[in-house]
A and B are shown apart, each in its own frame.
Chain A
Amino acid sequence: MAIIKVKDNNPAAAIRELLRTMLEKQLVSAILVPQEIPSKKTVVQTLVSDPDKLDAVNPLAPIFSINSARIVVKMCIDQMTGPVSGQAVSEQPAEEKEAEPPEAEDSASEQKQEQAPEQEQGKSGEQAPAEAQSAAEDEPAAAEGQSAPAPIAVVLRPCEIRALIELVKLQQASLDPFLVIGVDCWGTYSVQDYAAMVTQGPQDSSVTADFLKQVTAGNFPEELRGACRACQYPVPTYADLAIQLIGDDISQQIRIEAQSEKGKEIFNALGFEVTAESKERKSAVEKLKEAKKQLAEQDKADFLEMISSLCINCHNCRAVCPICYCKQCVFDGKVFEYPLEKYLNWSGKKGVLPVPPDKLLFHLTRMSHVATSCVACGQCEAACPSGIPLGRIFQRISTAAQEALGYEAGRSLDDDLPLTTFRENELSAVED
């Protein structure tokens, strides 16, 4: 844990400088981070490898255009497959061993927390060696030093990290090439609202600064996205490095914490002065969660009716969902293509048939598939052209489902996916 001083009441700038240092010191080979576009109407994810190209970086902008876990998945597609070489097996342990000794000296309690998942990965098969092999082939740069190539930093919100954890467990991504930097999050606006605020606001004002001012004072703007209004995960808990804002006076300072061994190495290399955790943080986080609970209470609607009447079967929600990882959705296959005769038959039986016929079925199917891994990021809701409050629906259902199964999506790599485990009394809570 260390304190990072904030200048000019601009915490985003402080983070920017931190990232710049990491690139300059070659602690990371590149950084995936959101930057503002010149018109400032939105931010886009960028992969920056030149420290001079970080000027528009703003991870605190209250806008959430894509769940970046999806981007990370795309970036490591080639890491997930490839030839399994027997050679790699014998080479890999040597590399690992060199990395181990410094870790062993660190505090015991943290080690316990963090080592388990790494062991888990080792156990789960030949994956790690395979990656090491292909990485070595692809990047000759690695050969110049003894150490592994510097990781790619990815700056993510808590819900993005949680989605990424789920995807790693579903074997769609690997954390190995990445250094996950988590940032506290009070919530976000929709892309449209954000753009409108930028356009309508005074020239010299900043939507980010206004937003931070409000939320740190405990006021939540009306325009906050539905999913963010109910979010119970404002802080990163499973990152390599966590940038902490909640509980501090962010006009003065923010903090940085290493949450894994990987993070600790970078943290040490950055040469921070180690300090204690903010005393107010815990209660501030709890207070924030409580406030969000209150906000969520206000959202009530007849969700089922909204789906069956408003859905236009565009499947946008599926396209943006970080958890929808199938190569081809069943709804794009032949199963749901019907001959005309069948339409007529159905219509004939009931007298009237709402078309297309699989609207509710699509959402129920998707829900049954993602409910145990849903991180309630609300991207589905943002993508819906009909304004169905999908994020809130999925949040409500998935929270209940995960609770019933004693699971929390994205909490840790160690928890077995609920579908793969069976406990005799796991559904007793919902049996009646």
Chain B
Amino acid sequence: MVNLTINNKPIDAEEGTTVLQAAQTLGVKIPTLCYHKALSPYGGCRLCLVELDDGRRKRIQTSCIYPVQEGLKVYTDTERVIKARNIVLELLLARCPESEELKLIASEWGVTKTRIKKRNEKCILCGLCVRMCNERMGKAIIGFANRGIDRVVIPPFDADSEVCMGCGACAFICPTAAIKPEDFCVRGVSALPSEFDFGLGQRPVVSVAFPQAVPNTPSIDKEHCVYFQTENCRTCEAVCDAKAIDFEQQTEQLKLKVGAVIVAPGYERYYPDNRLEYNYQHLANVLTAPEFERMLSASGPYGGHLVRPSDHQELKRIAFLQCVGSRDLECNQYCSSVCCMHATKEAIVAKEHSEGDLETDIYFMDMRAFGKGFDRYYERAKSEYNVSYRRCRLPVVEQASENGELLLNYLDEQGKLQKEHYDLVVLSTALIPPKNVGMFKEAAGLNLNKYNFVDTKPFASEDTNRKGVFICGAVSEPKDIPETVIQASAAAARASEILAEVRGTLIEEKEYPPELAVSGEQLRIGVFVCHCGINIGGVVNVADVVEFAKDLPNVAYCEHSLYTCSQDNQQKIKETIIKHKLNRIVIASCTPRTHEPLFQDTIREVGLNPFLLEFVSIREHCSWVHMSDKARATAKAKDLVAMAISKAGLLRPVYSSSISVRSEALVVGGGMAGMAAALSLAEQGFETYLVEKDKELGGNLRKLYFTVSGDDPQKLLTETIEQVEASKKIHVYLNTSVKEFSGYLGNYKTTLVSIDGKARETTIEHGAVIIATGAAEYETKEYMYGKSDRVITQKELEAKLFDQAESAKVASAQTIAMIQCVGSREEDRMYCGRVCCTQAIKNALKIKQISPATNVVIFYRDIRTYGFREEYYQKARQEGVIFVRYEPENKPKVTPGQTPEDALVIEAEDFVLGQKLHLNIDLLVLSNGITPRLDSEQVAKMFKVPLDQDGFFLEAHIKLRPVDFSTDGIFLCGLAHSPKFVSEAISQARAAACRAATLLAQDTVKAKGRTAEIMERLCAGCGLCVGVCPYGAREIDREKGIAKVLEVLCQGCGACAAVCPNAATRQVGFAKEDIMAAVDSLI
């Protein structure tokens, strides 16, 4: 070892290291330019000058090539060094005034302009590219030629190189973007297209798949990595301080013994490569919807700017073409279900992104806004955002001019040829089965359906033909996010039913040492500042922060480390805590979101209460956001650390309370959803109380007699009721309603009352609630319903068609008309009935089956047979069912015939023929849709859960938490949530059961540590906190007249603390004193 001092700080350096390396270990900053960790030092740029004192004389030397010597005294900031360095910087700036990197370095060291005549060269002759190509790539394609002022970097004889492999390493390492390998590489240099950006952007060989990837670790693209091609390079290995690069990793085969398998490989998008009409391959300005999504993304390849890919001109007009590869007899007959809303969303986002007058036109056949809240969104797109929707057929895209403008030819609804110019055409491409779907067929024996999606069971859309193998997501049918999330939970429920007996058997409880008492001890704060490699250290001067922090009051220990979170460093922290008797810990590193629990656990392992930790986010708050201002990023990091240290002084141990959880569940509503939820819960091992108002189970399913796909709902009903009745764990209460509901998460108390007049009351205690109260048929007065017995609803028709005698009577009619969207998709009921289109087609097909001669005319607004149901729409048309579209402003008019025996007359506009239709009809069938139950409001009030504006129950998050309420412990499913098909209701019921089981399976629930607490002496009991608490974690204790906190429900959001006028409520860890202490350390 060699002893030397740098700026008077002693250091032991290994023999052979350079002065620069020694300085870097100490955290002393020295500017460099031609130095690179992975390359041999060169001493070319002269930026790393330092003053050396070997006892005999003082000299200026380049630190990157000077080896350490015993007794050497190094100074990095003497006047002499600064003067010399500034001149070097000025010379470099004069040579290459445009280099951003150079300007940044210069300004960081206080040089902003040069007094020397500018030469406007690009290359600064640092030699990084030469060394990179030679040392790392093993190619030596480029080298220095000539001498003195004529010196240049060129390939031999300045001739194009056949040896160059076009790897781009020289360009990557060049600080001034001077070298362009494409100028001399014969093979050509091409960047790797980013898969995540669909080729609109590029990615490096070592990359993270996409920003939100889990795990968020980079991987090496073996196919393009130079090392795997030539065994050279290994640059990544040299620069990775964490030594995390492992070239030896091999693909492993794992064998796991499992009780159930869930298959969720997702879907892929159709590429219209071979479709001449879209010209997708040839025209740069024709994108697919996912590609356009990346263009819209602020973090995407275009930075969210809407420009034409061909010439980067601002977009003025965009056309979206729907059903590209969907509902198409040539490729995929089914509907992809999500594209209508996706295009609508993209059009709205595009409008929001563009500053000018962007026009967005969506070309479509039927607008399938069938999901919860979708129709309202669609209406907003039209009225608020001026998105224009055009019904069209056979669109053809061609180039209109050299600059990339496009011409769209299409037939409008009347069949007239129209032409429009656009800057960009976005293709809403189909969702298709993943390429590897065959693997599941072969490996797991799963059946695929005719579209090559995984086949699932009717009324059990997570179940495959293989017992124990379940699916979720779009691998079985295209679907939107909520349905996917629902299916995921439902599949988990199915798996959990099988695994109920072994639940929790693989869990190992972690043991912690007894907690040390710290109260009354003198404060000894330990501060650990993290470099996070260069993530923080590259911007924030970490050594400086440590230097600053170690003198702050109560700081007993302060250090910095390369990766504070690494396993060996965690061990070191634990040892340090013991050695220095630290009793408060400050960690300054990345973000508490991901790393606070880790460090809390670390200190707990040495007996400190986990809440004696204060976390400072100097990555997010400093190095990331102030990347270009290193000095101020460092200053801010110091401030934040100082604040944390003052706050840490006030930290007290926090003990979070926990409550026991009852394992029983209450399911309100004994329809199909309620029964399915109860069955799943029972299968998973939980006692379940199933409450139904009616005198029998089944709900709306009782009136469903057949389905369009030919399955038997009545059989499902009977079997389900049998299963419910046979289950020992399900306790059914018929003729019963909920009278009172109280309690909290895991400990509810519900009073049930019999409504058959006997007024018996039962009180049950349970841990969770599932609301499955269903919905009702909408009662209409339109179209003479109730005035003529020739007008019936679809449900009534279905009942008739199911009955032998009645169905013959129906089929004897000459003409039957159906009207869709009766009372749906209108001003005060702006939502889609979702099932009515399929229901109408189902009944129409049945009529045609019994009596092919009967005319069936369906008046519709959009046919919404999403997913595989599209097949039946096609079939209905083939069978001769006539579809006539109408506009809501111009509804069909129904008038009685001359006498009551006469047929009704229906009058409507036919958009295709452009004519008025007059039809005599024997029977009119109304698709009257689904409406919330009248008593929903009462149920909502009783369980303190919200309703949406249409009166359906409102989930916690419409996309991501479709079966949860925002209050923990209460869940929802079935028609109570929104209109849906039976199989969808069953999925949602199972999902709700799964979500409830995650709670019921626990013995206790632990409160979050940092909850609110009440200073009883100060509380005036005004109840403001009760009003603002979004989690129902507050109530007024009537006896004391003050507020109290239900700690297990409290999420620690602090709304109560904010609204409390006299700080009677405190947010643990964020009390006024804590905040004031932190602020005071700054002012």
Interface residues of A (CB under 8 A from B): 80-84, 125-127, 130, 170-172, 325-330, 333-335, 342, 346, 349, 369, 416-417, 419-421
Residue of B nearest to A349 (CB): B1083
Q: A125-B1036, A325-B1020, A419-B1059 are in contact. List 19 more A-B contacts (CB 8 A).
A: A80-B1041, A81-B1021, A81-B1039, A170-B1022, A171-B1041, A172-B1021, A172-B1022, A326-B1020, A327-B1017, A327-B1062, A327-B1064, A330-B1062, A335-B1076, A369-B1061, A419-B1024, A419-B1028, A420-B1024, A420-B1028, A421-B1027
Could you name 30 residue pairs across A and B whose Cβ atoms are closer than 8 Å?
A81-B1038, A81-B1039, A81-B1041, A84-B1039, A170-B1022, A170-B1023, A170-B1024, A171-B1021, A171-B1022, A172-B1020, A325-B1022, A326-B1018, A326-B1061, A326-B1064, A327-B1019, A327-B1020, A327-B1064, A328-B1017, A328-B1018, A330-B1062, A330-B1063, A333-B1062, A335-B1073, A346-B1083, A349-B1083, A417-B1027, A419-B1024, A419-B1028, A420-B1024, A420-B1028
Structural contact, B1063 and A333, CB atoms closer than 8 A: yes
Residue of B nearest to A84 (CB): B1038
User: Residue B1072 at the A interface, CB < 8 A?
Assistant: yes
CB distance from B1040 to the nearest CB of A (A): 6
Contact partner, B1038, options A126, A330, A421, Cβ 8 Å: A126
Q: Describe A's contact surface by its main secondary structure.
A: loop
Q: How far is it, in angstroms, between the C-alpha of A424 and the C-alpha of B105 when the chains are bound?
A: 47
CB distance from A357 to the nearest CB of B (A): 12
Q: How far is it, in angstroms, between the C-alpha of A60 and the C-alpha of B257 when the chains are bound?
A: 89
Contact partner, B1018, options A327, A420, A421, Cβ 8 Å: A327
Structural contact, A329 and B1062, CB atoms closer than 8 A: yes
Q: How many residues of B contact A (CB 8 A)?
A: 26
CB neighbors of A among B603-621 (8 A): none
Q: Which 5 A-B pairs have the closest CB atoms?
A: A420-B1027, A81-B1041, A326-B1062, A170-B1022, A369-B1061
Structural contact, A171 and B1023, CB atoms closer than 8 A: yes
Which among A127, A327, A349 has the highest number of chain B CB atoms within 10 Å? A327
User: Residue B1080 at the A interface, CB < 8 A?
Assistant: yes
Residues of B within 8 A of A342 (CB): 1080
Residue of A nearest to B1073 (CB): A335
Residues of A within 8 A of B1061 (CB): 326, 330, 369
CB distance from A78 to the nearest CB of B (A): 10
**Pair count A-B, CB < 8 A:** 74
Residues of B within 8 A of A84 (CB): 1038-1039
CB neighbors of A among B364-401 (8 A): none
Residue of B nearest to A370 (CB): B1061
CB distance from B940 to the nearest CB of A (A): 13
Q: How far is it, in angstroms, between the C-alpha of A327 and the C-alpha of B1042 when the chains are bound?
A: 11
B 797-821 binary contact with A (CB < 8 Å = 1; else 0): 0000000000000000000000000
Residues of A within 8 A of B1072 (CB): 330, 335
CB distance from B825 to the nearest CB of A (A): 23
CB distance from A292 to the nearest CB of B (A): 30
Q: How far is it, in angstroms, between the C-alpha of A381 and the C-alpha of B698 when the chains are bound?
A: 68
Q: How far is it, in angstroms, between the C-alpha of A420 and the C-alpha of B1026 when the chains are bound?
A: 8
Q: How far is it, in angstroms, between the C-alpha of A246 and the C-alpha of B123 when the chains are bound?
A: 91
CB distance from B938 to the nearest CB of A (A): 12
Residue of A nearest to B1043 (CB): A171
Residues of A within 8 A of B1039 (CB): 81-84
CB neighbors of A among B562-593 (8 A): none
CB neighbors of A among B1034-1083 (8 A): 1036, 1038-1041, 1059, 1061-1064, 1072-1073, 1076, 1080, 1083
Residues of B within 8 A of A420 (CB): 1024, 1026-1028, 1059
CB neighbors of A among B710-743 (8 A): none
Residues of B within 8 A of A419 (CB): 1024, 1027-1028, 1059
Q: How far is it, in angstroms, between the C-alpha of A326 and the C-alpha of B1063 when the chains are bound?
A: 10
CB neighbors of A among B233-255 (8 A): none
Q: How far is it, in angstroms, between the C-alpha of A266 and the C-alpha of B1060 when the chains are bound?
A: 39
Residue of A nearest to B1063 (CB): A330
Residues of B within 8 A of A421 (CB): 1027
Residue of B nearest to A123 (CB): B941
Residues of A within 8 A of B1021 (CB): 80-81, 171-172
Q: How far is it, in angstroms, between the C-alpha of A171 and the C-alpha of B1034 when the chains are bound?
A: 15
CB distance from A136 to the nearest CB of B (A): 17
Residues of B within 8 A of A83 (CB): 1039
Q: How far is it, in angstroms, between the C-alpha of A171 and the C-alpha of B1020 when the chains are bound?
A: 9
Q: How far is it, in angstroms, between the C-alpha of A349 and the C-alpha of B1072 when the chains are bound?
A: 23
Q: How far is it, in angstroms, between the C-alpha of A170 and the C-alpha of B1023 when the chains are bound?
A: 6
CB distance from A133 to the nearest CB of B (A): 11
Residues of A within 8 A of B1080 (CB): 342
Q: How far is it, in angstroms, between the C-alpha of A342 and the C-alpha of B1039 when the chains are bound?
A: 42
Q: How far is it, in angstroms, between the C-alpha of A85 and the C-alpha of B262 when the chains are bound?
A: 53
CB distance from A343 to the nearest CB of B (A): 13
Structural contact, A125 and B1027, CB atoms closer than 8 A: no
Structural contact, B1036 and A171, CB atoms closer than 8 A: yes
Q: How far is it, in angstroms, between the C-alpha of A420 and the C-alpha of B1028 when the chains are bound?
A: 5
Residues of B within 8 A of A325 (CB): 1020, 1022
CB distance from B763 to the nearest CB of A (A): 13
Residues of B within 8 A of A346 (CB): 1083
Q: How far is it, in angstroms, between the C-alpha of A328 and the C-alpha of B1072 when the chains are bound?
A: 15
Residues of A within 8 A of B1040 (CB): 81
Contact partner, A328, options B1041, B1062, B1073, Cβ 8 Å: B1062
Which among A329, A330, A369 has the highest number of chain B CB atoms within 10 Å? A330
Residues of B within 8 A of A327 (CB): 1017-1020, 1062, 1064
CB distance from B559 to the nearest CB of A (A): 30
CB distance from A164 to the nearest CB of B (A): 14
Residue of A nearest to B1042 (CB): A81
CB distance from A160 to the nearest CB of B (A): 19
CB distance from A172 to the nearest CB of B (A): 6
CB distance from B281 to the nearest CB of A (A): 45
Residue of A nearest to B1040 (CB): A81
CB neighbors of A among B162-212 (8 A): none
CB distance from B943 to the nearest CB of A (A): 15
Which among B1018, B1021, B1061, B1063 has the highest number of chain A CB atoms within 10 Å? B1061
Q: How far is it, in angstroms, between the C-alpha of A162 and the C-alpha of B1063 when the chains are bound?
A: 26
CB distance from A392 to the nearest CB of B (A): 23
CB distance from A418 to the nearest CB of B (A): 10
Q: How far is it, in angstroms, between the C-alpha of A334 and the C-alpha of B1018 when the chains are bound?
A: 13
CB distance from B1070 to the nearest CB of A (A): 14
Residues of A within 8 A of B1020 (CB): 170, 172, 325-327
Q: How far is it, in angstroms, between the C-alpha of A349 and the C-alpha of B1082 when the chains are bound?
A: 12
CB neighbors of A among B846-861 (8 A): none
Q: How far is it, in angstroms, between the C-alpha of A171 and the C-alpha of B1028 when the chains are bound?
A: 15
CB neighbors of A among B399-441 (8 A): none
B 543-566 binary contact with A (CB < 8 Å = 1; else 0): 000000000000000000000000
Residue of A nearest to B1071 (CB): A335
Q: How far is it, in angstroms, between the C-alpha of A80 and the C-alpha of B1019 when the chains are bound?
A: 13
Q: How far is it, in angstroms, between the C-alpha of A130 and the C-alpha of B1039 when the chains are bound?
A: 9
B 8-50 binary contact with A (CB < 8 Å = 1; else 0): 0000000000000000000000000000000000000000000
CB distance from A407 to the nearest CB of B (A): 13
Residues of B within 8 A of A82 (CB): 1038-1039
B 910-924 binary contact with A (CB < 8 Å = 1; else 0): 000000000000000
Residues of A within 8 A of B1059 (CB): 419-420
Q: How far is it, in angstroms, between the C-alpha of A327 and the C-alpha of B1021 when the chains are bound?
A: 10
Residues of B within 8 A of A326 (CB): 1018, 1020, 1061-1062, 1064
Residues of B within 8 A of A416 (CB): 1027
Q: How far is it, in angstroms, between the C-alpha of A120 and the C-alpha of B44 when the chains are bound?
A: 82
Residue of A nearest to B1038 (CB): A84
CB distance from A326 to the nearest CB of B (A): 4
Q: How far is it, in angstroms, between the C-alpha of A328 and the C-alpha of B1062 when the chains are bound?
A: 7
CB distance from B263 to the nearest CB of A (A): 40
Q: How far is it, in angstroms, between the C-alpha of A342 and the C-alpha of B1038 when the chains are bound?
A: 42
Residues of A within 8 A of B1027 (CB): 416-417, 419-421
Residues of A within 8 A of B1062 (CB): 326-330, 333
